[in-house]
Amino acid sequence: MKRIVVIGLGNFGSAVADTLARKGHDVIAVDKDQEAADRIANRVAKAVVGDGTEPDILSEVGARGADVAIISTGDDVTASVLAILAAQDLKIPEIYVKVISTPHARAVDKLGVTGTVFPERDTGQRLAESLGSAAVLNYVPLSPGFSVQEMAVPEEWIGRSLRELDLRNAHQVSVVAVHDMLLDEVSGVPDPDARLKDSDTLFIAGTVGNLQKISRLR
C-alpha cells in the first residue's frame, strides 16, 4: 500500500483517486473547491479543501512522506507547475502530472517529473489504432515510438507455439502475456511451447512500426 496525494479533483483526478483507493492505497485528495472534495470524501482516506500549490498546506494534510503525487489541475498550467514544486519541496519521490497540451508537457518535463498523462491524446491514439485494424483490441502507448497492443491471434498462428513463431527474430516484437478469453485467464509469463488457440488474445510489445505490421497479418 502506498500513500498517494492527488491534487485537483476534476473528472480525471477524482477517477484516479477513487480507483487507487479501491485498490487499497492510502489516498489524500486535495482541491480548492469544497464540492469537489465532498464528492469523493467517502471514497478516500482523506479529502481536504485546500490549495495544493502550497507546501505547508500539503504538509499539514499528510502529504509529506507520501510515495506518489498525482497533479491534475485542469487548464491551469501555472497551478500545475506550482503544485510540482510543492511536491518536490516535500520530497515526494514520484510525481505524475496531467497535461493539456504538448507545450504543457514540455514545460513540466523540464521540472523533472516522473511522467505526464495526456488523456485526450492517449485515448485518441488508442481509438485510432483499434479502428485501424480489426485485429487490435487494445493499444497502450508506453513511450515515444514504443507500445503494447492486445490483438486476436492471426489465423496463421493458431495451433503454433510462441517458440515456433519466434516473433522476436521474425518481427522484432515480444509477447508479454496471453489471455485465454474462454477461461478469462491471463498468463503473464506465457508458456513458449503452448499451442495458441483462436480464443486467445496476445499482448505484444514493440515499436509502433513493428506492431502495425503485425496487426496486418490477420
pLDDT for 147 equals 81
Give the model confidence (pLDDT) of 119-147 as tens digits.
Answer: 655 554 554 554 445 456 676 767 667 88
All 3 cell numbers of residue 40? Answer: 469523493
Give the amino acid at 128.
A
pLDDT above 90 for 47? yes
pLDDT at 146: 81
pLDDT at 117: 79
Distance separating alpha carbons of residues 145 and 208, to the nearest angstrom: 5
Rounded to an integer, the average pLDDT of 19-48 is 92
Domain boundaries, the chain: 3-117, 122-215
In the chain, pLDDT over 90 holds for what percent of residues?
A: 44
Q: Distance between CA atoms of 46 and 32, rounded to whole angstroms?
A: 14
Which residues are registered as beta bridge partners of 71? 7, 97
Half-sphere exposure in the Cβ direction for 99 (13 Å, CA): 21
Higher pLDDT, 28 or 120: 28
| Highest-confidence segment of 37-41, 145-149, 214-218 | 37-41
Q: What is the pLDDT of residue 208?
A: 79
Mean pLDDT of 143-156: 80
Q: How confident is the model at residue 5 (pLDDT cuts 50, 70, 90)?
A: very high
Mean pLDDT, the chain, as a whole number?
Answer: 85
Which CATH number applies to 122-215: 3.30.420.300, 3.30.70.1450, 3.30.2290.10, 3.40.462.10?
Answer: 3.30.70.1450
Please state the pTM of the whole predicted model: 0.60
Least confident stretch, 47-61, 139-153, 169-183: 139-153
Q: Are 129 and 139 in contact (CB under 8 A)?
A: yes
Q: Looking at domain 3-117, does it have CATH number 3.40.50.720?
A: yes
**In the prediction, which pLDDT does 85 show?**
95
Chain-centre distance for alpha carbon 188: 18
Each residue of 71-93: pLDDT tens digit?
Answer: 998 778 899 999 999 999 999 99
What's the pLDDT at 131? 43
Q: What span, in angstroms and rounded, lies between the C-alpha atoms of 9 and 15?
A: 8
